[in-house]
Amino acid sequence: MVTKGQKINDRYEIIKSIGEGGMANVYLARDVILDRRVAIKILRGDLANDEKFIRRFQREALAASSLSHPNIVEMYDVGEDNGNYYIVMEYVEGKTLKQYMKKRTNGRLTISEAVDIMLQLTDGIAHAHDSYIIHRDLKPQNIMIQDDGQIKITDFGIAMALNSTQLTQTNSVMGSVHYLPPEQASGKGSTIKCDIYSMGILFYELLTGILPFKGDNAVEIALKHMKEPLPSVRKQNPSVPQSIENIIIKATAKNPKNRYNDVKEMHNDLMHCLDPDVMNQERYVYPYPEHELDETKSMPVIKVKDKGKEEDTNSEEEKEEIEDTGDFIQEIPNKKNRKFNIVIWILSGIFFLIVLGMALVLFIIPSLTKVPNIKVPDVSGLSVNDAEEVLLQEGFTVNAVVEQIESEVYDAGKVVKTEPKAGRSIKKGKEITIYESIGKEVYEIEDYIGKNYIEIQTLLKEVHGLDVKVEKKSVEITEETDAQGIIEQSLKPGTIVSRGDAITLYIPDVYEQYPDFVNEEWTVTEIDEFCKTVNVHLTIEYLETDEYEPGKIISQSRTGRIVEGVTLKIVVAKEKPLPPEIDPVPDDNNTDNDNSNDTNDENNN
């Protein structure tokens, strides 16, 4: 039992419990050596007695501690103290992605928010995969989101060590089985594509607010992952473009061959899924069958009896099986055998003719009528008429319908690209589609006052390609002041902008962390006004010293994030009183010396 004030390994002092799970309990602790707050995860007692699990836990937790990425919670230490196996990691102030979703209408996020979170998630998981580490338990409960929108992936190490035992842990499976890939549910080994499947399910949940597969128990949900097709995300949320649904379809394929080869491919698709030229692309179709045949049926062996023999070599079980089928084989007379052989020869001849005909159709005739392959010329930058002329001269046909797309490189009326692309070798006479530029994408600035700056920053930066800066501005702080609400914008509503243009969003300059009262030379009066503003109780201790000027702030008890209702203590320098004056006391020895000196002088005279 871990209690408040207890020290783990004589270093990590427990402050309070911040979470309990089926596999481990999490505590807020203070590292007394480095004087910083950490989160310490301590393995539950039932798993702490399994030596095999402990070895895997230690080995894989140490491997995860080597990860260093802004979207992965940093691991500091792993060890054991009096039977308590623990992992020490970075303490993240924020909420889980699950808690964040519950505060939204219908539990769903905006498309831009979901894409931003998935871009961070895939970036972090790609870094882990590059280090040969698979998470294996990705879910919203294992992802923290901070106030600035940055996410942190947690539970590396424990999630990996649970691969062989999690299906026996009832409490944990119900938390993870909703994101469990089919191959992992069927007991096969884990690969990087398991994490890709879990991220696809998580992406679905972010956009719809619901899970695609539900059931009364873990086994029922796991079977649905293995057998049932994924419900359409666009039916649940019609505002989702086809490009995003394609990402989910590809990530959540039952057959791992149909999924992304790695997380970087998924990250690249997320980077461009909101581009106008890909949003309405065709629905993704799997190149391989989703349900490959895993089992084959064996047929019973039926032995032929000789006519004059009654000996039976089958076992009793084989006899019963044969009798139940009602099948039997009799000896065939010799005449019938000869007729049967003739039939075999005829069928063999027919089969040979069929094979010969197929060879003519598949190999000989095509080689005689083969159309040569030629490369598609690069006509980008030409006018549509000039491009058509070049393509016709090369021997291609040109699609009468010219597609129009936005381009920052080519002016309106110029060719941006062709489909198939320039440089590809294709059959002569194949149809080429020309894509004509309609110029730069433009966007009209709206009124963003009062809106969340994180959402607007993501929209303007990721979707419209603007250079977005966020600056704080001093305003009168009231109870209604929203620290993340936009109070001013540099461009007026109605301004027309294009990719690369700059805009500044202003938010209130609200203190979210304690200032450095000592080095910034705050006065006691200023600190008192500050504490009243942020609803913090102030206590003042005066220290008599001659090292600081009277009234100088020597130290403060709190730093970091401000929490309402707590107490802040400051130490203020106070002038030392002067020591009292003491009257001098005559020295008898000095008097005697003076008298002796006088006597000597008289004698000399």
Q: What is the DSSP string of 509-534?
A: ----B---TTTTT--HHHHHHHHHHH
Please provide the CATH number assigned to the domain covering 373-437. 3.30.10.20
The domain made up of 442-508 has a fold known as Trypsin Inhibitor V; Chain A (3.30.10)
The answer, yes or no, to whether residue 593 has pLDDT greater than 60, is no
Question: In 284-413, where does DSSP find H-type helix?
Answer: 316-325, 334-359, 365-368, 384-394
Q: What is the pLDDT of residue 368?
A: 62
Please provide the CATH number assigned to the domain covering 524-574. 3.30.10.20
Pick the more confident residue, 159 or 252: 252
The answer, yes or no, to whether residue 118 has pLDDT greater than 90, is yes
* Residues whose CB is less than 8 angstroms from the CB of residue 270 and which lie 6 or more positions away in sequence, other chains included: 115, 118, 119, 122, 247
pLDDT, tens digit (0-9, with 9 covering 90-100), for 506-536: 988 776 788 899 998 899 988 998 888 788 8
* Residues whose CB is less than 8 angstroms from the CB of residue 272 and which lie 6 or more positions away in sequence, other chains included: 243, 278
Q: Name the CATH architecture for the domain at 7-90.
A: 2-Layer Sandwich (3.30)
Q: Specify the pairing of strand 397-398 against strand 415-419.
A: unpaired
C-alpha triplet 585, 586, 590: angle, nearest 5°? 145
pLDDT, tens digit (0-9, with 9 covering 90-100), for 438-449: 877 778 899 999
Q: Quick one: what percent of the chain has pLDDT higher than 70?
A: 81
Section 289-307 average pLDDT: 46
Section 282-293 average pLDDT: 83
* Residues 570, 520 contacting (CB under 8 angstroms): no
Tokens at 238, concatenated? 């019609």
Q: What is the pLDDT of residue 187?
A: 75
Would you place residue 287 in the very low, low, confident or very high pLDDT band (cuts 50, 70, 90)?
Answer: very high
Would you place residue 540 in the very low, low, confident or very high pLDDT band (cuts 50, 70, 90)?
Answer: very high
* Residue ranges, CATH 3.30.200.20, the chain: 7-90
Assign residue 557 a region: left if phi > 0, alpha if psi is -120 to 50, beta otherwise? Answer: alpha
The answer, yes or no, to whether residue 354 has pLDDT greater than 80, is yes
pLDDT, tens digit (0-9, with 9 covering 90-100), for 176-230: 789 989 988 777 777 899 999 999 999 999 999 999 998 888 888 888 998 899 9
Cβ atoms within 10 Å, residue 523: 13
Report which residue type is found at 504: T
Nearest to 142 by CA among 182, 178, 183, 188: 178
Q: Which sequence positions are flagged as catalytic?
A: 137
Best CATH choice for the domain 95-272 from the list 3.20.20.300, 1.10.510.10, 1.10.630.10, 3.30.70.270: 1.10.510.10
The answer, yes or no, to whether residue 296 has pLDDT greater than 50, is no
The answer, yes or no, to whether residue 589 has pLDDT greater than 60, is no
Would you place residue 338 in the very low, low, confident or very high pLDDT band (cuts 50, 70, 90)?
Answer: low
CA dihedral 167, 173, 176, 178 (to 10 degrees): 100
Would you place residue 405 in the very low, low, confident or very high pLDDT band (cuts 50, 70, 90)?
Answer: confident
Report which secondary-structure segment, H or E, holds 233.
helix 233-236
Distance from C-alpha of 570 to C-alpha of 3, rounded to nearest angstrom: 29
pLDDT, tens digit (0-9, with 9 covering 90-100), for 37-87: 999 988 877 777 777 767 766 766 776 777 889 999 988 888 888 888 888
Distances (CA, A) of 212 to 179, 183, 200: 9, 17, 11
Tokens at 466, concatenated? 């603007």
Distance from C-alpha of 115 to C-alpha of 122, rounded to nearest angstrom: 10
pLDDT, tens digit (0-9, with 9 covering 90-100), for 419-431: 988 888 888 888 9
* Residue ranges, CATH 1.10.510.10, the chain: 95-272
The highest-confidence range among 227-241, 481-495, 556-570, by mean pLDDT, is: 227-241
Q: What is the pLDDT of residue 167?
A: 41
Pick the more confident residue, 332 or 63: 63
The answer, yes or no, to whether residue 170 has pLDDT greater than 50, is no
Q: Quick one: what percent of the chain has pLDDT higher than 90?
A: 37
**What is the torsional sign of CA 245, 248, 250, 254?**
negative
Distance from C-alpha of 118 to C-alpha of 97, rounded to nearest angstrom: 12
Section 374-383 average pLDDT: 90
Q: What is the pLDDT of residue 312?
A: 42
Tokens at 549, concatenated? 């000027």
- Can you spell out the DSSP letters for 256-307? GGGS-SSHHHHHHHHHHTTSTTTTTPPPP--SS-SS-----PPPPP-PPPPT
Distance from C-alpha of 554 to C-alpha of 540, rounded to nearest angstrom: 11
Distance from C-alpha of 365 to C-alpha of 360, rounded to nearest angstrom: 6
Distance from C-alpha of 119 to C-alpha of 115, rounded to nearest angstrom: 6
**Is the bond preceding residue 256 a cis peptide, omega within 30 degrees?**
no
Q: What is the pLDDT of residue 468?
A: 92
Helix (H, G, I), strand (E, B) or coil at 210: coil
Report which residue type is found at 299: M
Q: What is the pLDDT of residue 581?
A: 66
Nearest to 198 by CA among 261, 135, 154, 129: 135
* Residue ranges, CATH 3.30.10.20, the chain: 373-437, 442-508, 524-574
How many secondary structure helices (H) and strands (E) does the chain include? 19, 23
